[in-house]
A and B are shown apart, each in its own frame.
Chain A
Amino acid sequence: MVQYIRTGFDASFAALSDATRRGVLEQLGRTDASITDLAQKFHMTLTGMKKHVGVLEQAGLVATEKVGRVRTCKLGVRRLEEEAAWIERYRQLWDARFDELDEVVEELKRKENVDGRKKRE
């Protein structure tokens, strides 16, 4: 499945291009954290961290939930996995179709060989 995740997820790549954001993902891999926690850990302002988390959220890599006055962040890879799974199912449909098409192509080639002269008229 990895090969499908690798392709096409522009937003994810943009999100992962930044060292702080990669650090945030690593951190959230260990445990959920609030934006305030993350800002402190990465020595950033709250506003700066909010922006980073926003980018990660947009890419579907992080999910946030506000409880009271605290916004908690956690890894949110679900969307990526769903998309990869969908693409794989879609690929299987086309693969099955194209296997049948292979047979049609073989059949047409056989016919062309048999009555090739007629066809070229």
Chain B
Amino acid sequence: MDARRESEPVPMKDRTAVERKSERELVVTRTFNGPTRIVFEAWTKPELFRQWWVPKSCGLSLLSCEMDVRVGGRYRLVFSHPAAPKPMEFFGRYLEVTPHSRLVWTNEEGGDSGQVTTVTFEERGGKTLLVMHDLYPSKEALDGAIASGSTGGVGETFEQLDELLVVLGASAGRS
């Protein structure tokens, strides 16, 4: 269907898989070459988190990254992009924090339609199987996120990101 994808070299790294598990659920899986304590650390320490959350290739800058990683603690991420009129904010609250194995947080920037994200870290022979599970409040909320081209239920701010992703996809195909 897509010749470009066929001709890509076989990646050395474990491929990221995304599946819409049900009307309300989206699941991302990936394996990392390190123990869970290290991968968990990279998700929960702001100074590490900001090194990877914004891929260099997408042109976004992370202006601030506040993370109070404990049950009931809040997080707030602020991004900017040269083409975006104003910074984009993402925020929510940690519902569960189990060191090295499980993180659950809310996504509140989109109001009531925001999903609850559960990330589990499972150790397998020194590697970490990571499963990120987004549960949307309704089928309509997830359909809406998809229809608006958003990756988190805030259509307007993500339209920019959407364009970037297309660029990102195209450049990944060329290399």
Q: C-beta contact mask, A28-47 vs B, less than 8 Å → 1, else 0?
A: 00000000000000000000
Question: How many residues in B have their beta carbons less than 8 Å from beta carbons of A?
Answer: 43
Q: Does A102 contact B (CB under 8 A)?
A: yes
Q: Which chain B positions have C-beta within 8 A of A9?
A: 20
CA of A94 to CA of B58, assembled, Å:
12
CA of A97 to CA of B39, assembled, Å:
13
Q: Is the CB of B20 within 8 A of A87?
A: yes
Q: Is the CB of B16 within 8 A of A95?
A: yes
CA of A94 to CA of B32, assembled, Å:
13
Q: Is the CB of B55 within 8 A of A108?
A: no
* CB-CB under 8 A for A86 and B42, given A98-B16, A100-B51: no
Range of interface residues on A (Cβ < 8 Å): 20 to 34
Q: Is the CB of A102 within 8 A of B13?
A: yes
B interface residues with partner A (beta carbon < 8 Å): 1-2, 13, 15-23, 26, 28, 30, 32-34, 38-39, 41-42, 48, 51-58, 132, 146-147, 149, 151, 161-162, 165-166, 168-169, 172
Q: Is the CB of A108 within 8 A of B38?
A: yes
Q: Is the CB of B23 within 8 A of A108?
A: no
Q: Does A19 contact B (CB under 8 A)?
A: no
Q: Is the interface of A mostly helix, strand, loop or mixed?
A: helix
Cβ 8 A contact of A83, one of B57, B146, B162 = B146
A interface residues with partner B (beta carbon < 8 Å): 1-2, 4, 7-10, 82-83, 86-106, 108-109, 112
> Distance (Å) between the CB of B172 and the closest chain A CB?
7
Residue of A nearest to B151 (CB): A90
* CB-CB under 8 A for A108 and B20, given A89-B162, A89-B169, A100-B51: no
CA of A105 to CA of B28, assembled, Å:
18
Q: Is the CB of A105 within 8 A of B39?
A: yes
Q: Is the CB of A104 within 8 A of B16?
A: no
> Distance (Å) between the CB of A107 and the closest chain B CB?
8
Residue of B nearest to A91 (CB): B18
